[in-house]
Structure 1
Amino acid sequence: MNLLPPILRPICYFTLKPPWRRHFSTCSEASVTANELFTILETANGIEDALEPLAPKLSSDVVRSVIRERVNPQLAFRFFIWATNRMKLCSRMSQNSVIDMLVRDDAFELYWRTLEQIREYGFPIGSDAFAVLINGYDKLDRVEKAVETFARMKDFDCKPNVSTYNSILHVLVRKEVFLLALAVYNQMLKSNNRPTRNTYAILIDGFCKTMQTQDALRMFDEMTQRGMAPNTVTYTIVVSGLCQAKRTDEAHRLVNMMKGSGCSPDLITYHALLDGYCKTGRIGDAYALLRSFERDGYVLGLNGYTCLIQGLFKARRFDEAHGWYRKMIKEGIELDNVLCTIIIQGLSDAGRVNDALSFLSEMSEKGLVPDAYCYNAVIKGFCDLGLLDEARSLHLEVSKQDCFPNACTYTILICGMCKNGLVGEAQQIFNEMEKLGCVPTVATFNALIDGLCKASLLDEAHLLFYKMEIGRNPSLFLRLSQGVDRVTDSTSLQTKVEQLCESGLILQAYKLLMKLANSGVTPDIITYNILINGFCKDGNINGAFKLFKDMQLKGLSPDSVTYGTLIDGLQRVDREEDAFVVFDQMVKNGCMPSSAVYKALMTWSCRKQKVSLAFSLWLKYLRNLPSREEEEIKEIEENFKEGKIEKAIRGLLEMDIKFKEFNLAPCTILLIGMCQVRRVHEALRIFSVLDEYKVTVTPPSCVHLISGLCKEGNLDLAIGVFIYTLEKGFMLMPEICNTLLKCLLRSQDKKDHALDLVSRMRSLGYDLDSYLQQTTKFLLQCHGN
């Protein structure tokens, strides 16, 4: 046998026929040891026949020992595949050992040959035999092979079990092929495989990472409805997802629910919640949470310090951030590149770019190698300060390093150039990037398209958009739109993927989605929003609507920015009815209108002298917010209808104070709206309530009030409002100042008030020579000033 070529030697173990039964007869009655098993495996012809009588005497530890020794890889694989039909023998450690063999020795081909041999021999093959292949390919990021393995199970008369489904779901979610993951999950349910906690954890994590928080919560509810209590891992995934969606209060309530159910949060859970509070600027709540950490016995680690320091930098509380940094160093916690990048970015955002550069040098002294993220943070700092030469200089200085510059670097530079009106230079950088083989990302295209739109170069922006859309290949959607099974939007694409999965063509479904993802740099919702905004500002509302329809045909769902931009554009061209149609469509499609959308509609309604409609729109917005009591909103609504304007405004302010979400805009819009419909005294009552609550009334509100009061001849109240603006340090536009002064100077008994106001204006810094009109100056001279 030693004369055979090495590749054929393993096969001999299955073709020669030594007397394996005599070895079996020497085995212990109670159990089989690893050594005894080695002897049988190496001398048996049909090892499956030899192993069957031994199955009751084997343990998972013995199986793992035999696999781990891997004297003969093919023999170990064959033994493992036999064991996969017996759940108690095929432990997680055995699977990990086989995965290590596959990955370390790239033994996938040998494993497939072994599967083929066992199939020819007529022995059944268990699902776990394929799960290890899927996990092995996943470790090497060979996703297509992992999907192909799952698809080929039917060729071996093997049906996936829960473990195999979980393995392929993990691969698909990690690769963000979420549409296919859901199709596979539906197949799992149809095949009567009961999902496990791990199944739900994988899918919930996928929903959270794609910011589909509501779907994640629905999946979480489905899990509990199936009688599965979430564990710490599942709770933490949902808490993290809620925090990423800025739903921090809900995340905190979930942590409390978690504690109440007897499931203890771990450090990762607390860090996720801490990060949520810090990223939303709620530093006080973050500190309170930190104190509860300490009561629960947790010690703040590197991740916790990172969350706090990042949050404090974002809140521009630099001294506190530095204090926590010093405390961390004092406690002996070592820095990593992530925290260094946050500190450098924080200093750069604060305009302290030289300090950021110094910290960059300190990193090297501490043995850390600055990466592209660190350098990009400093380059962005220079760009934000308008120091474009310094930014380019640093870019050239470190450009010889590996992985630098990257697409992010060029995007930062392009943003900086566009922000400073240097769109031509931005285009040069874009072209330079392509020549060097650095592929522009969606963000790069978006930055340049935005710059071109703001420079009113809409034709060039549109041309760049088409270049982005086409990419290296013609648009996949163009190809898919031909034939019977047309794919024109996300719904039809989902249907096609599900049909392919149900036909067992999962690999084809995966390739379809990958072709779509790689068919060029696909414009995202931000790209479309930028262009739609450009068309709207240019007055080309029809062009904006064409883009809006194209976007939906390509499977992108409009967001609140898209709808808000269209509504604003329609109002610019006086198409009020169409604006409300778009608003209704937005609500119908389940897209929650932002406060900006409601404010835009309120402003427009007031201009059309529909103040009641404007007020009802804001109440509709409040009703969509969490935790708002319907009874409170109804009371505010009744007060407004009955003309009790002070009570209605107080109700709005009290609600804002209660939820710590103060919003002056609706009160300002209503005040101005009242002036526009000549209900100036009601506007004055809004002004009084705002002043009572120590809320600073905006200059435009004051201008409308003064103008309205002057028209009514109520000059005493107009003087009061103007003095309010002087005390607040506002400098109003010349037109309103001259209007008030002329009214006072033409009045029989108010001329002295005009002189007093002029004196106050001069002391505040008004340039009266250029500010006052000739008529006003003449009237002042007539009065002897």
Structure 2
Amino acid sequence: MAYRLRHAIRHYSTILSPNSSTPLTSKQKSRAALRLLKSETNPETIVEICRAASLSPESHLDRLAFSRAVNKLTAAKNFDAVRQFLDELLQTRPDLQNERFISHAIVLFGQANMLHQAMNTFNHMRENLNIVPSVKSLNALIFASLVAKNHKEVTRIYLEFPKIHSIQPDVETYNLVIKSFAESGSASSVFSILDEMDRNSVKPNVTTFNNSIGGFYNEEKFEEVGKLTNLMEKRYGLYPNLSTYNVRIQSLCKLKRSSEAKALFQGMISRGRKPNSVSYYHLIGGFCREGNLDEAKRLFSDMKLRGFKVDGGCYFTLVHFLCESGQFESALEIAKESIGKGWVPNFTTMKKLVNGLVSVSKVDDAKELIKVIKEKFAENSDKWSEIEEGLAKE
């Protein structure tokens, strides 16, 4: 047994740091695990990486690693591995036998769409660990159902569990339920939830109204949005913040009403409210989807001019839609800027850009682009070599 344990420790250390002879700190283990999980696909190795890192929900990095591991296992449809891994942690790690980790495990099961297992874990807390569930684990169970998009289960838990387990819902409970109603086309139920919150002396917050507003936009009930914002201010003394404006901008852009979203954006600025990168992302994506790429590019330039941080997703969106519209030279300019920051659009988009450059007699630019991609990113290098060979004949 001692030999196997020493072998396991050496094996795990090798997984996380094959070139290091010194023990890793907890944070170094977490970072190594995150890095390895990014590309790993073998279910057994994924679980071994997590074991080696001794992950804990106390750490933000570890929570990210847990989530990434479960996403990987779920994508591979290896649900047994998800269950065995989380059950093993609950049974073998005394430091994780508490409501905080159990709540996290419940959410992870929801992430894997394993609601039956999430429910079992909730029950295991009281029956096997003698831990009385609180609103924290109730909210985790509701959130797990929401993540799994099982809105019927959200409603059932909300209606039954507070009575069964003598738990008083808090504002987060109600916000999750409202979000579920908003996503399932039942936004009108929001008003009855607000009445219940009043009866239970639970004051809503801005998130309550943001979730509600998003739902009414999804159902194109624009008058209800006005009623909500009025109620928000007059009954509860709450005022729209930046996140409220961003929800409204995003919702309008999804409905292909980006011009209205832009007017709202400008109105926000005129009232002294400063936008953020997210405000711009929604507008740029909205105008791209509506085919107004000139406006999308103008907003992109304005965003950079004002010093807002641009992430990879924004670059990728622009490159994709510029290629779709045949604006290959503009797409090349933005792609180069993105690659210079270490972000490369996916293979399909870049292949379309390369082929597009060739189609407009920019073969040298296409070749140079491939060269840069191959130097900076080894992934798909074989595919790029094949394309490069084809270009040599041009």
Length-normalised TM-score, structure 2: 0.71
Unaligned runs of 5+ in 1: 1-227, 259-263, 474-519, 644-785
1:208 alignment counterpart = none
1:380–1:391 CA contact under 8 A, matched in 2: no
The one of 107, 110, 124 equivalent to 1:327 is 124
Aligned to 2:8: none
Q: AA paired with 1:462?
A: K
Give 1:424 deviation, angstroms.
4.2
Once the 2 structures are TM-superposed, how far is the Cα of residue 448 of structure 1 from its aligned partner? 0.9
Unaligned runs of 5+ in 2: 1-21, 41-45
Hey, what does 1:535 align to over in structure 2?
287
Does structure 1 conserve the Cα–Cα contact (< 8 Å) formed by 2:47 and 2:85? no
**Residue 139 of structure 2, aligned match among 333, 341, 364:** 341
* 2:69 corresponds to: 277
**1:353, 1:382 within 8 Å by CA — same for their partners in 2?**
yes
Match of 2:238 among 412, 429, 438: 438
CA distance in 1, matches of 2:83, 2:152: 30
Instruction: Give me the whole-angstrom Cα distance separating, in 1, the residues matched to 2:83 and 2:368.
Output: 39
Q: Name the amino acid aligned to 1:421.
A: E
AA matched with 1:391: V
* Equivalent position to 2:298, from 542, 546, 563: 546
2-structure distance, mates of 1:443, 1:580 = 33
Larger Cα-atom Rg: 1
State the partner residue of 1:559: 311
Q: Does 1:396 align with 2:188?
A: no
Between the aligned partners of 1:619 and 1:306, the Cα distance in structure 2 is: 48
Which residue of 319, 330, 342 corresponds with 1:578? 330
TM-score (norm 1): 0.39
Distance 1:309 1:417, change over 3 A: same
Alpha-carbon separation, structure 1, partners of 2:367 and 2:132: 55
Residues 292/394 of structure 1: CA separation in 2 closer, same or farther (3 Å cut):
closer
What residue number does 1:313 align with? 110
Partner of residue 602 from structure 1, selected from 351, 355, 364? 351
2:225 maps to 1:426: yes
Where do 1:105-504 residues align within 5 Å?
Answer: 231-232=25-26, 234-235=27-28, 238=31, 242=34, 247=38, 256=52, 268=58, 272=63, 273-278=65-70, 282=74, 286-287=82-83, 289-290=85-86, 293=89, 298=94, 300-301=96-97, 302-331=99-128, 332-348=130-146, 350=148, 352-353=150-151, 355-360=153-158, 361-435=160-234, 436-471=236-271, 473=272
Tell me if structure 2 keeps the 8 A contact 1:449–1:531. Answer: yes
Cα displacement string for residues 289-336 of structure 1 (whole angstroms, at most 9, x for unaligned residues): 457758976464133332322122122122222233333332122223
The alpha-carbon deviation at position 528 of structure 1 amounts to 0.4
Q: 1:403-441: CA deviations, max 9, x gaps?
A: 532111111111111212223433442344344431323
Higher RCO (C-alpha 8 Å, min separation 6):
2
Distance 1:426 1:575, change over 3 A: same
The alpha carbon displacement at 1:235 in A equals 4.5
RMSD: 4.4
How far residue 374 of structure 1 moved from its aligned partner, in angstroms, is 0.9
Aligned partner letter, 2:141: I
Q: Per-residue CA shift, 1:725-756, capped at 9, x if unaligned?
A: xxxxxxxxxxxxxxxxxxxxxxxxxxxxxxxx
Q: 1:408 to 1:621 in 2, by over 3 A?
A: farther
Identity of aligned residues (%): 21
What letter matches 1:552 in structure 2?
A: K
1:271–1:303 CA contact under 8 A, matched in 2: no
> How many correspondences in the alignment?
352
* Structure 2 counterpart of 1:443, one-letter code: S
Cα separation, 2, equivalents of 1:430 and 1:547: 27
For 1:225-261, what per-residue CA distance to the aligned partner results, in whole angstroms no more than 9, with x for missing partners? xxx98754x4577579x49x974969975974x7xxx
